[in-house]
A and B are shown apart, each in its own frame.
Chain A
Amino acid sequence: MPIRVKLVYFGQARDAAGMREETFTLPDRSSVDLLLTKTSEAHEKIDRIKGMMKIAVNEELVDRSQVLRDGDVVALLPPVAGGRR
């Protein structure tokens, strides 16, 4: 059974994708890595910046090897604002 996951973009990732969010249909037991490959294929600018992104699944930071489940909400998180001390 394929799974459907929602990918949400923030900060410069939103500009790069040209949208706030989109839904991907993936094979069962797909990893975050595969989802990143899919979105990179769809958005060339995402491919250029994805290396610096952190990934959250259902609001928790995860490794890219994390296996996704149907209904997961995945967020692409650029470096946070930070600021100089």
Chain B
Amino acid sequence: MKSTERITKRRINIQSLLDQVSDPKMGGIVAFIGTVRDYSEAGKVEGIFYDAYVPMAEKKMLEVETEVKAAYPGGKLAIQHRVGRVGVGGVTLVVAASSSHRDDAYAACRLGLELIKQNVPIWKKERLAEGGDHWVEGEEMGGSRKKRSKTG
């Protein structure tokens, strides 16, 4: 994995992201690891296909990093999102945040995660066990920006 690749078709190497934020000055790392559930409102799920507008998604992921680092200076953040077909239990997204103390690490991880969900152009298509697949409708891109706050 290139360290600059934030959108990847390959399996995410969680340890590599933890290593990127590990630092003697940090007192801890908080990581969110998103995985594929075996059910949704539509029924039993077999897997998810993630589609991305890769060049824009890479740019937006970088913006997320910049924003989180500005909100929690002194900490480190590493993020990666997988695209393509991912089976149940597969890791689709990792957000790893480190900080000198745990409050900032938790908050930075949460902020990074929510910014990714709202702003990065990635779409998912669920494949159902009973056959058929469908695009999952989510939030309008950038639609929740106004609601966002550092403490919220």
Over the window 1-40 of chain A, the binary record of Cβ atoms lying under 8 Å from chain B Cβ atoms (1 yes, 0 no) is 0000000101110110000000000000000000000000
Contact A80 B135 (CB under 8 A): no
Contact A56 B140 (CB under 8 A): no
Q: Hey, which chain B residues are within 8 Å of A12, CB to CB?
A: 123, 135
Q: Hey, which chain B residues are within 8 Å of A78, CB to CB?
A: 123, 135, 137
Q: Hey, which chain A residues are within 8 Å of B42, CB to CB?
A: none
Interface assignment of B55: CB less than 8 Å from any CB of chain A: yes
Across the interface, B51 reaches (CB within 8 A) one of A11, A52, A79, A83, namely A11
Inter-chain CA distance A9–B52, complex, in Å, is: 11
Residue of B nearest to A14 (CB): B51
Contact A61 B141 (CB under 8 A): yes
Contact B140 A10 (CB under 8 A): no
Contact A82 B53 (CB under 8 A): no
Contact A82 B59 (CB under 8 A): no
Residues in A42-56 with C-beta less than 8 Å from chain B: 52, 54, 56
Q: Hey, which chain A residues are within 8 Å of B52, CB to CB?
A: 10
Contact B121 A77 (CB under 8 A): yes
Inter-chain CA distance A32–B51, complex, in Å, is: 23
Contact B117 A80 (CB under 8 A): yes
Interface assignment of B30: CB less than 8 Å from any CB of chain A: no
Inter-chain CA distance A8–B117, complex, in Å, is: 21
Q: Hey, which chain B residues are within 8 Å of A82, CB to CB?
A: 117-118, 138-139
Interface assignment of A68: CB less than 8 Å from any CB of chain B: no
Inter-chain CA distance A4–B77, complex, in Å, is: 40
Contact A80 B118 (CB under 8 A): yes
Given contacts A54-B141, A81-B123, 13 further A-B contacts (CB under 8 A): A10-B52, A10-B123, A11-B125, A11-B135, A15-B135, A56-B53, A59-B53, A80-B117, A80-B123, A80-B139, A81-B124, A81-B136, A82-B118
Residues of A within 8 A of B (CB): 8, 10-12, 14-15, 52, 54, 56, 59, 61, 75, 77-83
Show 16 residue pairs from A and B whose CB-CB distance is below 8 angstroms, ordered by the A residue.
Answer: A10-B51, A11-B135, A12-B123, A14-B51, A52-B140, A56-B53, A59-B56, A61-B142, A77-B141, A79-B138, A79-B143, A80-B121, A80-B122, A81-B138, A82-B118, A83-B138
